[in-house]
Chains A and B, each alone.
Chain A
């Protein structure tokens, strides 16, 4: 069969909160087994050493920590719904998200793809506890239970459209799910498949069953193939892996943990008892898997056994394996089972083994099997060509084949053959790009749905980056690619990992800094590029950027090559050499053009595409190239000619900036034929140009009136009548070059407005030389078209400031200035900062252009850290007096347990709320339906996106509103639906209908206060919770006495 790659992993097992910890636990040969947590059930209550009827013979097992924690806000699941969900659903949902991230995929990019979800599960204890409490069955309890929902919920929340199903074949469930996923990938039913396994023990039922069936180990521990093996210990866990066809993973340059070469599933059929293991069926399933994988049994280096540690089970498994391996007594196959570390995780057992094998092949070492040192000699492993993994087995270089068995109690057996990832996939080649790349610094980005989540995840990343040496480029690039898609966008820049770690920690600790480095764009960005003109040049401008950024270097070289035939000397070399000649207009103009073009192209290559362009005077040439009105070569020729011709003009001209409105100068200019109005940069910012003597006269007159004037350091009187001698010769060249209509709006400083279908051709460029630079008008027109970002395309910030002064808005409002080059020292870091700022503002950069080719390799970042603030759990199962399972008088409705109970912030949330009973009533209804606490719902919350409402909840909300408000008659859903964008919108709508609230106190939903924490007053909830707890304790004490 075609090989299938395991590209992403996430898991939680006893004693191991994540994949790294799981591997660590295995390598340390540690034990995740301990006492039954009080949260599950009272172990003593159900314990009897001799395993009496209705009792278990152990008080221990492998339990995961924090099974009640669920980040419902992340998935926009209401607390009420979360509380009704089987924790197995919640755990899988979080684990699925993390596994996709581990695969180097931003989970949202899988939305609407035919990605499959296959879940193996055999425990349904939440349903046993809740669906038998008929009085409390709600719509949420319905969707909160059932095997199907474990898979379907993942598909729903990640918007995956491939097959989605749950499998129950008892203990082989999750390996059978893997088999189905592999087949779905092979038949191209899906291109990605998520395979999960989950098991959470909520009741002692299975422990009692194992005891009664004589299968339960008294110490709660599986001891696979050990002389001490005496039965099963139960274990919990959740694991999700992401599978792809190997060829697709290789084509995408994904990191591959290991490869699945073949899987097989069969059944015992009518064997020696329904639940008895069957060696013949087991050896058949092994043979089928080997055949499908096209491997000889002798090729298999190690096998992760089912290995429950029951005498009969171990014996059958060894015999079945021995059938295939007995002939290799000289090189026996290594054997182990993870059950010795974490117990038998039942529905999750297959995925626990799969992850162990994948990690072993990935790390090239197979952990020792716990309890292997005291091998069960009766199994005669050696005679069967087997040896127990008493110590870790370091795998040799090159391909390694491994096996994995999982057998179901009802006789459904599964086996998988895996292999180490092919060499290039273990360390994929850098992603290819046509143009050179790299900007000389990294941009680290991370997104989260809220500030707290941002802070939490920044710390996770900082800790991981600090834990061991991590290359910065691949790390940052992974953040760019994987940690994308949430509303709050954090971005910072760094040039080494230690610096990044410090920046992340600082940002997490300092709210002001975090706010500065985070953006939450609400609208699509509209970028304006502003190209600077003469006066902004200086020797070595952008030289540092040229040295640090291959991307910028490429485009400056390109501009230089285009200019060279016309300038005769390399403008780039002149710049890098720090030649003062850059101030001579012959070089100034091509140099500014080269820098403008290179910087503009660098930014577009980085994904910052301008929606509007503006060039101040000579800056317009680079703008025209970016607008595709001029080809690079043509523009280069024009600029070179323009500079050279102007240089030939006699000196003696100058320019004078005056703080006077253009109109007030008209009379004076008219009197002086050698003076022109060179630029109108703003209402009272004007530049005159022309003969020096004439300028002197005007300057003196104006200064006498007490107005500020300033002589500009220029060699010639640009944009003045003195330029006339060059016009004819320039026109000849301009006619040859031509020019078209810009494809991106250009706000022309010749016209003082956006060009409207006008070509930037010969006549335009000839007029450009003598025309007044109408920067003020052009910039005002640009501002009126609503840019979100003003990007200064030049060697120092000039135009951004001028535009913002025109805008006259307060700092921090209006379009954001972005400065890729801040001054002579600016290099890759400043360019990276500019890109970071654009990203915060909603731009989606082409991240691959940011990094050098060798940095474009996958790097696994720690996956998303979910909030553990919110806890959802049910009351413990208790033994009812007599033989009845659940007491009739104690509803076991699941509860939302708020961890922190801040005082209500309602007054802050609701403008004028003190006397707004309609708003209060609506907010209360929303809280009630969603199960939110007071502080969690405000008028700005969106019902679908923020509060996780669905159609069932809308119906319920409608009913509640009708109950609570008068004057609205009967609401129709059709009326309501268009007005549900936010809670505030709904309130406004109801007011429009003439809603009024009757006396609030009379509503008193007391029946709900008892069950759910959903009324306004937090103190009240606190009290109720306490009362509930006391009642429960009383009940427990009572039952202890009766037991």
Chain B
């Protein structure tokens, strides 16, 4: 028996509310607008939290369900066929219940296996990997894969940042909120986007984390620890190198030449970093599909936002390759797509 070809039949995404531009963010947080343009290169982002009132308007589950609903409403997909759900996120609404189950509830799905992968920027890729394995096993034919993050949990609107150091400032302007979803099938349907390969590999043995997000409980909630720590130096240094390796590993695995690549989906750190990495990846024949400058870094939503953008252009027979790096504990991730 041949292994079924895992395909993305449809994709849906959700971004909360209206885009927040740099001018607005500058006003709210007291950050220099020009600095954001030049050093970050992200123009707009979306927040699930109201910038004025601080009120939470959407939970991660809300955003994931919105995205999933769009994916499930697409032609050639049927919610009744969904046999499993996988969600990748670094920022679940609660530790329990797992957000994936709240999403299932919102979608009216029941009696099926659900998985939630705790992961940063590689979570969406890991979710695709799990789904691909499940479909390849022959036990499942259709699944729902989601990725999403609500980073605005750490957007402290009370703080005055006019005197904050750049390393601290970055955390406030880099991130955004959002979610994405895709319906995966064991045969070409809908968008007919074959998932040719998925790379998901831990490579951080002995390495200090590049990024830490803390969580606090009753016992330590008053600790004066920073909730979000990033080693930007390490990230700037390692991510481009890892990205290049990921690209070539996947190409090698599939025996694709770089010139056969029609689209490249590079890691989405910030507008500026992504531009830099794309240059280093150096596949001039492939069109760059990036979104972070408009969406902000919303973690595990990014690959879906990129795929959605990709689908607007991609025609039959074309190939795309996505690269993602999780700098927390240095995870290499990526996947290859072909429209058939």
A interface residue numbers (CB < 8 A to B): 27, 362-365, 392, 394, 397, 423, 426-427, 468-469, 471, 854
Residue of B nearest to A423 (CB): B78
Is B336's beta carbon under 8 Å from chain A?
Answer: no
Within 8 A of A (CB), among B172-215: none
Q: Please give, as numbers and ranges, the residues of chain A lying within 8 Å of B105 by CB-CB distance.
A: 468
Interface mask (B85-115 → A, CB under 8 Å = 1, otherwise 0) = 0000000000000000000011110111000
Within 8 A of A (CB), among B51-101: 65-66, 68-69, 73-75, 78-81, 83
Give, as a whole number of angstroms, the nearest-CB distance from B244 to chain A. 40
Contact between B78 and A471, CB atoms less than 8 A apart: no
Contact of A394 among B75, B79, B111 (CB under 8 A): B111
Contact of B78 among A27, A365, A427, A854 (CB under 8 A): A427
- A469 and B66 in contact, given A394-B112, A854-B75 (Cβ under 8 angstroms): yes
Contact between B83 and A397, CB atoms less than 8 A apart: yes
A-B contact pairs, 12 of them (CB 8 A): A27-B110, A364-B111, A365-B111, A394-B111, A394-B112, A397-B83, A397-B142, A427-B78, A469-B65, A469-B69, A471-B73, A854-B75
Residue of B nearest to A362 (CB): B80
Contact between A468 and B108, CB atoms less than 8 A apart: yes
Q: Please give, as numbers and ranges, the residues of chain A lying within 8 Å of B141 by CB-CB distance.
A: 397
Q: Please give, as numbers and ranges, the residues of chain B lying within 8 Å of A426 by CB-CB distance.
A: 78, 80
Residue of A nearest to B62 (CB): A469
Contact between B107 and A364, CB atoms less than 8 A apart: no
A362 to B108, CA, bound (A): 13
Contact between A469 and B110, CB atoms less than 8 A apart: no
Q: Please give, as numbers and ranges, the residues of chain B lying within 8 Å of A397 by CB-CB distance.
A: 81, 83, 141-142
Contact of A468 among B81, B106, B111, B142 (CB under 8 A): B106
Q: Please give, as numbers and ranges, the residues of chain B lying within 8 Å of A427 by CB-CB distance.
A: 78-80
Q: Please give, as numbers and ranges, the residues of chain A lying within 8 Å of B66 by CB-CB distance.
A: 469
A468 to B107, CA, bound (A): 6
A468 to B68, CA, bound (A): 12
Residue of A nearest to B69 (CB): A469
Can you name 13 extra interface pairs (CB under 8 A) apart from A854-B73, A854-B75? A27-B110, A27-B111, A362-B80, A364-B80, A365-B110, A392-B111, A394-B111, A397-B83, A426-B78, A468-B108, A469-B107, A471-B69, A854-B74
Interface mask (B141-175 → A, CB under 8 Å = 1, otherwise 0) = 11000000000000000000000000000000000
A108 to B112, CA, bound (A): 40
Q: Please give, as numbers and ranges, the residues of chain A lying within 8 Å of B65 by CB-CB distance.
A: 469
Residue of A nearest to B68 (CB): A469
Q: Please give, as numbers and ranges, the residues of chain B lying within 8 Å of A468 by CB-CB distance.
A: 105-108
Give, as a whole number of angstroms, the nearest-CB distance from B34 to chain A. 30
Q: Which of A363, A423, A426, A469 has the most CB of B within 10 A?
A: A469
Give, as a whole number of angstroms, the nearest-CB distance from A236 to chain B. 27
Give, as a whole number of angstroms, the nearest-CB distance from B254 to chain A. 29
A365 to B111, CA, bound (A): 7
Q: Please give, as numbers and ranges, the residues of chain A lying within 8 Å of B81 by CB-CB distance.
A: 397
Give, as a whole number of angstroms, the nearest-CB distance from A857 to chain B. 8
Give, as a whole number of angstroms, the nearest-CB distance from B55 to chain A. 14
Give, as a whole number of angstroms, the nearest-CB distance from A25 to chain B. 14
Residue of A nearest to B80 (CB): A426
Q: Please give, as numbers and ranges, the residues of chain B lying within 8 Å of A365 by CB-CB distance.
A: 110-111
Q: Please give, as numbers and ranges, the residues of chain B lying within 8 Å of A471 by CB-CB distance.
A: 69, 73
Q: Which of A362, A363, A392, A397 has the most CB of B within 10 A?
A: A397
Give, as a whole number of angstroms, the nearest-CB distance from B110 to chain A. 7
Q: Which of A27, A363, A427, A471 has the most CB of B within 10 A?
A: A427
Residue of B nearest to A27 (CB): B110
The 8 closest A-B pairs by CB, nearest first: A427-B78, A365-B111, A469-B69, A469-B65, A469-B106, A468-B108, A468-B106, A397-B141
Q: Which of A27, A364, A423 has the most CB of B within 10 A?
A: A364
A362 to B106, CA, bound (A): 18
A392 to B79, CA, bound (A): 19
Q: Please give, as numbers and ranges, the residues of chain A lying within 8 Å of B112 by CB-CB distance.
A: 394
A854 to B79, CA, bound (A): 15
Interface mask (B116-150 → A, CB under 8 Å = 1, otherwise 0) = 00000000000000000000000001100000000
Q: Please give, as numbers and ranges, the residues of chain A lying within 8 Å of B73 by CB-CB distance.
A: 471, 854
A469 to B65, CA, bound (A): 7
Give, as a whole number of angstroms, the nearest-CB distance from A398 to chain B. 9
A362 to B80, CA, bound (A): 8
Q: Please give, as numbers and ranges, the residues of chain B lying within 8 Å of A394 by CB-CB distance.
A: 111-112
Residue of B nearest to A366 (CB): B111
Give, as a whole number of angstroms, the nearest-CB distance from A269 to chain B. 43
Q: Please give, as numbers and ranges, the residues of chain A lying within 8 Å of B108 by CB-CB distance.
A: 468-469
A471 to B81, CA, bound (A): 18
Residue of A nearest to B79 (CB): A427
A476 to B222, CA, bound (A): 49
Q: Please give, as numbers and ranges, the residues of chain B lying within 8 Å of A854 by CB-CB distance.
A: 73-75
Residue of B nearest to A857 (CB): B73
A394 to B65, CA, bound (A): 23
Q: Please give, as numbers and ranges, the residues of chain B lying within 8 Å of A469 by CB-CB distance.
A: 65-66, 68-69, 106-108
Give, as a whole number of angstroms, the nearest-CB distance from B117 to chain A. 22
A365 to B142, CA, bound (A): 16
Residue of A nearest to B142 (CB): A397
Q: Which of A423, A468, A854 has the most CB of B within 10 A?
A: A468
A27 to B69, CA, bound (A): 24
A637 to B83, CA, bound (A): 59
Give, as a whole number of angstroms, the nearest-CB distance from B41 to chain A. 29
A443 to B182, CA, bound (A): 29
Q: Please give, as numbers and ranges, the residues of chain A lying within 8 Å of B107 by CB-CB distance.
A: 468-469
A427 to B76, CA, bound (A): 9
Give, as a whole number of angstroms, the nearest-CB distance from A289 to chain B. 26
Give, as a whole number of angstroms, the nearest-CB distance from B168 to chain A. 35
Give, as a whole number of angstroms, the nearest-CB distance from A886 to chain B. 50
Q: Which of B80, B106, B108 has the most CB of A within 10 A?
A: B80
Within 8 A of A (CB), among B241-263: none
Q: Which of B73, B81, B111, B141 has the most CB of A within 10 A?
A: B111
Residue of A nearest to B66 (CB): A469
Give, as a whole number of angstroms, the nearest-CB distance from A494 to chain B. 16
A397 to B142, CA, bound (A): 9
Within 8 A of A (CB), among B262-298: none
A933 to B55, CA, bound (A): 51
A854 to B65, CA, bound (A): 19
Give, as a whole number of angstroms, the nearest-CB distance from B33 to chain A. 28
Give, as a whole number of angstroms, the nearest-CB distance from B281 to chain A. 36
Give, as a whole number of angstroms, the nearest-CB distance from A192 to chain B. 24
Q: Please give, as numbers and ranges, the residues of chain B lying within 8 Å of A392 by CB-CB distance.
A: 111
Give, as a whole number of angstroms, the nearest-CB distance from A71 to chain B. 29
A54 to B286, CA, bound (A): 88
Give, as a whole number of angstroms, the nearest-CB distance from B13 to chain A. 15
Give, as a whole number of angstroms, the nearest-CB distance from B19 to chain A. 17
A397 to B140, CA, bound (A): 9
A916 to B328, CA, bound (A): 88
A426 to B142, CA, bound (A): 16
Give, as a whole number of angstroms, the nearest-CB distance from A466 to chain B. 11
Contact between B110 and A363, CB atoms less than 8 A apart: yes
Q: Please give, as numbers and ranges, the residues of chain A lying within 8 Å of B74 by CB-CB distance.
A: 854
Q: Please give, as numbers and ranges, the residues of chain A lying within 8 Å of B69 by CB-CB distance.
A: 469, 471
A471 to B108, CA, bound (A): 13
A394 to B79, CA, bound (A): 15
A469 to B142, CA, bound (A): 20
A392 to B68, CA, bound (A): 26
Give, as a whole number of angstroms, the nearest-CB distance from A573 to chain B. 23
Residue of B nearest to A395 (CB): B111
Give, as a whole number of angstroms, the nearest-CB distance from B310 to chain A. 21
A202 to B185, CA, bound (A): 54
A265 to B175, CA, bound (A): 67
Q: Please give, as numbers and ranges, the residues of chain A lying within 8 Å of B142 by CB-CB distance.
A: 397
Q: Please give, as numbers and ranges, the residues of chain B lying within 8 Å of A363 by CB-CB distance.
A: 80, 110-111
A142 to B106, CA, bound (A): 50
Residue of B nearest to A474 (CB): B73
A423 to B110, CA, bound (A): 19
A427 to B110, CA, bound (A): 18
